[in-house]
Amino acid sequence: MKLFETRASWHKANLHSHTTLSDGLLTAEQAAGLYRSHGYDVLAVTDHWLAGTPTSADGEFILLGGIELASNSYMSEGSLECWHIVGLGVPEGFRQTLPRNDTPPQALIDGIRSHGGFVILAHPAWSLNTAGQILTLSGIDAVEIWNTQSALPYNPDRADSSQILDAVFSAGMLMPLLASDDSHRYAREACRAATMISTDDFTPAGILSAIRAGKSYATTGPRFRQVEIDGGRVNVETETPCTAACVMTNHPWMKGAVDCVFGSDGDPVERTSFSLATVENTSFIRVTVFDSLGRRAWTNPVRLSNS
Q: What is the pLDDT of residue 29?
A: 98
Instruction: Give dist(CA 203, CA 226) in Å, integer.
Output: 24
Of 128, 120, 70, residue with least CA distance to 90: 120
Largest CA distance in the chain: 56
The residues, ordered by sequence, that sit 6+ positions from 176 with a Cβ below 8 Å of its Cβ are 141, 142, 143, 211, 212, 214, 216, 300
pLDDT of residue 215: 97
DSSP-based helix, strand, coil % in the chain, nearest 5: 15, 35, 50
The DSSP secondary-structure symbol of 283 reads: -
Per-residue pLDDT, 256: 47
Domain 224-303 has CATH 2.60.40: yes
| Domain definitions of the chain by residue range | 10-219, 224-303
CATH homologous superfamily of 10-219 equals Metal-dependent hydrolases (3.20.20.140)
Q: Determine the Cα–Cα distance for residues 51 and 116; give it in Å rounded to an integer.
A: 13
Mean pLDDT by 10 residues, the chain (307 residues): 90 98 98 98 97 96 97 71 96 91 94 97 97 97 98 96 97 98 97 98 98 98 93 86 89 61 78 67 90 95 79
Q: What pLDDT, on the 0 to 100 scale, is given for residue 78? A: 61
Quick one: which of 83, 59, 64, 81 has its CA closest to 17? 64
Q: What integer pLDDT is reported at residue 274 of this predicted model? A: 73
pTM, rounded to two decimals: 0.95
Angle among Cα 46, 3, 116 to the nearest 5 degrees reads: 30
